[in-house]
Every structure is written in C-alpha cells, then in structure tokens.
Amino acid sequence: IKWHSLTPADLHSLSAQLIETEVDTHFRSYLINISWSLSMDASIKELTATKICVMSKGIREHFECIRCNYTEKFQSQIMFGNRRWQFHYIGFPVEPEMFYSISAYNLPPANIYEDSPSKSIMLTSPGNLPVSLGISKNKCIFMFKQTA
C-alpha cells in the first residue's frame, strides 16, 4: 500500500439519471448517465482519477467499477467562468426493475486509518424498460485543456 502525503478531497456532488440511447443495432436501450463535480480546494492538484462503482440488485446482481483517469494535473481549482470542474460518464447498462447503488471517490484514495471520503446515491429503474443488451464501455479517460 502506497502512502500519499496529500490526497484529494471528496467529490462535491454526485448524481445519476437514466438516458435512452440507440446502439448500432437500432434497438432502444438505456444507460446510466453519472455526473459529478469536484470540490474547489487546493487538494484538486493531487487528483489523478475518480473511481465509480455500480452495484445492481433485482432479478440478478451485478457489480462493476470503472476508473476515470484525468489526462493531466489540474492547474486551477475552478474552470473558466469561475465554475466547478464537472464530468459525466455514460456506459453502465440499465435493466428493468433494478436497484442501482452508485458510489464514487477520488484517487489517490485516503491513506489507511484516514477518513475515506466517497459519495453514494441510489437509482431505481422502472419495469417497462426494454432488456439491456449488456453493452458497457470499460474505458473512462477525460482529456481537458486548461486555459490560464
């Protein structure tokens, strides 16, 4: 286990919603759009990635995590226009009548015996959705250009 002298703060916010999409087969399917914003403090300079995990419960259970890497170090606590840094990931497939527990935390993680900050939310899918084709993207890389 690697010890970090500084670790990033918790996410500022985490939200999720179901979105409708058409894949190459032209069948309607649904994915979870996960959005988060970063805390506006100096610890953002230590941030390398955000890890998102989704656990689904219902007819069957499934657990999947994805690591969303940031391509460069943050040079500023805020985006242009004095706004928080905000990101989205779309790629977890949705099935009807399922409960989704979504949690996310920043990397590097807190050191052992330190508070491990994370955010969690719940999402429920309605029963009238078409069955998902199980399409999941397993890459999450954010490229951004910072302006001074």
Inside any domain, residue 46: yes
Inside any domain, residue 2: no
Strand 86-93 relative to strand 140-142, pairing: unpaired
pTM for this predicted structure: 0.80
Contact between 48 and 30 under an 8 Å Cβ cutoff? The reply is no
User: What is the per-residue pLDDT across 37-69, written as a single tens digit (0 to 9) for each?
Assistant: 998 888 888 889 999 999 999 888 999 999 999
Largest CA distance in the chain: 50
Domain count, the chain: 1
Inside any domain, residue 5: no
Inside any domain, residue 6: no
User: What is the per-residue pLDDT across 76-99, written as a single tens digit (0 to 9) for each?
Assistant: 887 778 888 899 999 888 888 899
**Residue range(s) defining the domain that contains residue 26:** 11-142
Inside any domain, residue 104: yes
Q: pLDDT at position 26, please? A: 66
Inside any domain, residue 78: yes
Residue in 47, 140, 46, 23 with CA at minimum distance from that of residue 88 = 140
pLDDT at residue 118 greater than cutoff 90: no
Instruction: Assign residue 90 the CATH number of its domain.
Output: 2.60.40.2160
Inside any domain, residue 123: yes
Q: pLDDT at position 51, please? A: 95
Residue in 66, 70, 88, 45 with CA at minimum distance from that of residue 145 = 70
Inside any domain, residue 21: yes
